[in-house]
Structure 1
């Protein structure tokens, strides 16, 4: 008498879900290949040290600046600037976007000047910001805040104005008050687009910080890069740029995680 064990079949949907959770190692092929080509070009002399240091030299420079504490100090200063600028810009953008999205008078009074201002190249406002606020921290924070405010405002405003009319009418039929319609229908409908605007704003915030820190800065990653430029230290310059890129990727990943948690109700 033989005993047979029956292995439960795994549904195709479960298999696809498990594969989706695993990192796709194929995405590392091209980055690793580019780094190897970079190292090979440096080793053969195609790329000289005064033009671009090799990956190994950049790695050693990163370790040295981290051990000396120089990189850590610059990191803390830059994080503080972008954090404060983001809070100011996001607060203004959310307030204006909600008022303009919910109120017809707010839309008439707020949206036109915001649309006109957003067409200005905000990075070109640096000379004017220096004249207004001096050469201290204020111009850098204001520059980051401007970079954050406009994309977040546009997405919040559009998300509120494009809320599903059928859901709004259904909430009215169910006897929801104005506040209940706002809290349970309109604002949740605007969350997906607001999170898209948040991701865009964070990307622009780091761009604004890079530009702001290269102008009259005495601390931060931009100052570290400018100081390295004076001494032709391309390895330290690349270290600073890599830190900027990693910070951008980390903040974007955090927003994507929040997006998956907040919008779990949209998943089938």
Structure 2
């Protein structure tokens, strides 16, 4: 009887060619650094084209001043304190209007999201109100409240009110039914259901509404200051246009964009902290 063949002589199964090799996951800080580097080439290319066009006068300097001229104008406005004065006035208007609009939006959104009766009574009227842009109310409000600060606060509040209300309502209405059923199994009270299930589940959507509300409030501020104001960043843009000082216009536009980006970034950081707290609380 012949001895059994050695197992070493048996053919090994060939590796599947379509199986990807495991790759090491990049650390979070390295990935953020790569994303940051990838975000810079396009704005730098735009800035370079702007400088080349201004240097060779492809566009008349009266229409498009050079970047260095705009930077010098920004430094002059900052040095005299004029830019800070207009900026503080605009930020104050946004703070008041956004706070008022967000408070009313959260109140209405929570009421419609938790009460079918309130939703049936108010939701159709709210949708009709939301379809009219903020500036669409400008002529009527100018006749009612004039062109003073009340006009600006009301329009900014309306701009923040709509997205906050919509996202709050949708967040509460879209809580997974499986979570509701689990809470019933544990015999949660209504307050426990709201505190431990409904609001934590709806929080990401609700916070997105607050972020959109701040963005819309900032945009509405600039728009209303362009049309009816004697102070603020929007007025500074109009003032530069009227005097045909395009360097002042561009300096103010850069500040508007930078401040809007910074405000959204602050809310993004707060959201990350709050969501981490929410995960740790479960």
Is TM-score (shorter-chain normalized) higher than 0.5?
A: yes
Partner of 1:19: 30
1:161 aligns with 2:173: yes
1:190 aligns with 2:191: no
Partner of 1:130: 142
Q: How many pairs were matched up?
A: 256
How big is the shift at 1:18? Answer: 3.1
Q: Considering only CA atoms, is the larger Rg found in Structure 1 or Structure 2?
A: 2
Partner of 1:214: 226
Taking the aligned partners of 2:74 and 2:249, their CA distance within structure 1 comes to 10
Partner of 1:76: 88
How big is the shift at 1:266? Answer: 5.9
Give the one of 99, 108, 113 matched to 1:87: 99
Partner of 1:231: 243
How big is the shift at 1:27? Answer: 1.2
Secondary structure in 2 matching 1:251: helix
Taking the aligned partners of 2:125 and 2:59, their CA distance within structure 1 comes to 49
TM-score w.r.t. length of structure 1: 0.92
Partner of 2:193: 181
Give the one of 108, 111, 117 matched to 1:105: 117
Give the one of 105, 129, 139 matched to 1:117: 129
Using the TM superposition, name which of 71-80 and 39-48 deviates more. 39-48
Using the TM superposition, name which of 49-58 and 72-81 deviates more. 49-58
How big is the shift at 1:49? Answer: 2.1
Long gaps (5+) in structure 2: 1-22
How big is the shift at 1:20? Answer: 2.5
Taking the aligned partners of 2:139 and 2:80, their CA distance within structure 1 comes to 34
RMSD between superposed Cα atoms in Å: 1.5
Taking the aligned partners of 1:222 and 1:232, their CA distance within structure 2 comes to 15
Long gaps (5+) in structure 1: 1-10
Partner of 2:41: 29
Taking the aligned partners of 2:228 and 2:214, their CA distance within structure 1 comes to 23
Off by >6 Å, runs of 4+ in structure 1? none
How big is the shift at 1:158? Answer: 0.3
Partner of 1:5: none
Deviations 1:17-71 (A, max 9, x none): 2322425212100100100100110111112122121111100000000001100
